[in-house]
Amino acid sequence: MSSKNFRSKIAIGLLVVFAASYIVMSLPRCKSDSTAPVKPPVTQTPQPAVPQVPTPAFNADSAFLFVKKQVDFGPRVPNTEAHRKCAAWLAGEFKRHGLAVIEQKFQAPHYKGGTFNGINIIGQYKPENPRRILLAAHWDSRFHADQDKKDTNKPILGADDGGSGVGVLLEIARLLQQNPADIGVDFVLFDAEDQGNDADDNQDHSKTWCLGAQHWSKNLHKPGYMPLFGILLDMVGGANPRFQKEGVSMQAAPGIVEKVWSTAASLGYSNVFVQEQGNAVTDDHYFVITNARIPMIDIISRPGGTKTGFVPHWHTHDDNMNAIDKNTLRMVGEVVTAVVYRTNNGVL
Ligand code: AHN
Ligand code: ZN
């Protein structure tokens, strides 16, 4: 091929290329196309790791009836008939809601003398699921009304102190059966929380309080049991509640406190779940944290205005059904239910 022939072939080639690009450029096109930022290539939407289940509606009337039912047995002091009857009823309720129940019996000395026959009642939702949440409250009521002005030697009904937390948990157990979630939940009702010595401020709290939680945390119902986190409910039924970020919870599990308080804020309850650091309370969660190393927080109302900071009916005979405000049960119930289902959905 001559060099002249070669050059003309290149010229024709170039002409074809220019002509083709002119035709392409003059084709009608969207105005926005020329200014739009480069879009990333379309990828497949990631599949959710677990099925999304909407948070069911917490029924405060149902929770209220669960509190009343406990109170109707009378004071739930260990070694009494009311205590035995209520234990059987609680285990029966868990079974009715489809949970696998363990009745963990234990014996512990009372500081006044004698031995308590205690029973921690454990209701397991989907016991085979490794992803679990621990929800707890104490179910016993105090053997004497040491904060009252009269009848200080008589036991209290403990509608709020004990009953309220259990009522909220029973309602959540009912909701789980009606609205299955793909996460395990362990409901642990601790016994003999409230039989301790309040007379001596210098006493070692671990000696006389939270006897059921002490036993359970050293004798887990399943060896190596480790949930994602735990939430304890204590006095969650009184009027005008104030849930501060309790001291032990903030020390041991600040991330869980944040999870729960931000969930409360998302539901419009930031005026009740306040952004305030509260004092440390030696409650059941303290022993679960120290003995079982489970990150656990305490939702406990400390509205202030009292010497102790606890609710005004604390350890008095006023802790009866009149002390229970359905609205408080509802707020706490909605928050804990949302935490369970949002954790199930992987959004918490
Ligand atoms: C004391 O501080 C002595 N007890 C806190 C735990 C408690 C008692 N919660 C309810 N009753
Ligand atoms: Zn108490």
Give the 3-state secondary structure of 140-208: CCCCCCCCCCCCCCCCCCCHHHHHHHHHHHHHHHHHHHHCCCCCEEEEEEECCCCCCCCCCCCCCHHHH
Cα gap 292→252, rounded to integer Å: 12
What integer pLDDT is reported at residue 56 of this predicted model? 98
Residue 301 has pLDDT above 90, yes or no: yes
Residue 303 resides in a domain? yes
Number of domains in the chain: 1
Cα gap 127→149, rounded to integer Å: 46
Residue 122 has pLDDT above 50, yes or no: yes
Whole-number Å distance, alpha carbon 80 to ligand 2 midpoint, is 18
Residue 112 has pLDDT above 60, yes or no: yes
Residue closest by Cα to atom 10 of ligand 1: 161
The one-character DSSP state at 309 is: S
Whole-number Å distance, alpha carbon 212 to ligand 2 midpoint, is 14
Pairing between β-strand 132-138 and β-strand 184-190 as defined by DSSP bridges: parallel
Tens digit of each residue's pLDDT (9 = 90 or more) over 225-247: 999 999 999 999 999 999 999 99
- If one residue of 156, 190, 248, 282 were mutated to test the ligand 1 pocket, choosing by the most ligand atoms within 8 A of its CB, it would be 282
Cα gap 342→229, rounded to integer Å: 14
Residue closest by Cα to atom 3 of ligand 1: 198
Residue 48 resides in a domain? no
Residue 6 resides in a domain? no
Residue 99 resides in a domain? yes
Residue 216 resides in a domain? yes
What integer pLDDT is reported at residue 26 of this predicted model? 40
What integer pLDDT is reported at residue 35 of this predicted model? 53
Percent of the chain with pLDDT over 90: 80
Residue 75 resides in a domain? yes
Q: What are phi and psi of 105, to 5 degrees?
A: -85, 145
Q: Which ligand is nearest to the CA of 282?
A: 1
Residue 22 resides in a domain? no
Residues 6+ apart with CB under 8 A from 176: 97, 125, 185, 340
Q: What are phi and psi of 138, to 5 degrees?
A: -100, 145
Domain of 271: which CATH number?
Answer: 3.40.630.10
Tens digit of each residue's pLDDT (9 = 90 or more) over 28-74: 333 334 455 666 667 777 766 667 999 999 999 999 999 999 999 99
Residue 46 resides in a domain? no
| Residue written as token pair 């290149």 | 10
Q: Structural domain of residue 234, as residue ranges? A: 60-344
Tens digit of each residue's pLDDT (9 = 90 or more) over 66-109: 999 999 999 999 999 999 999 999 999 999 999 999 999 999 99
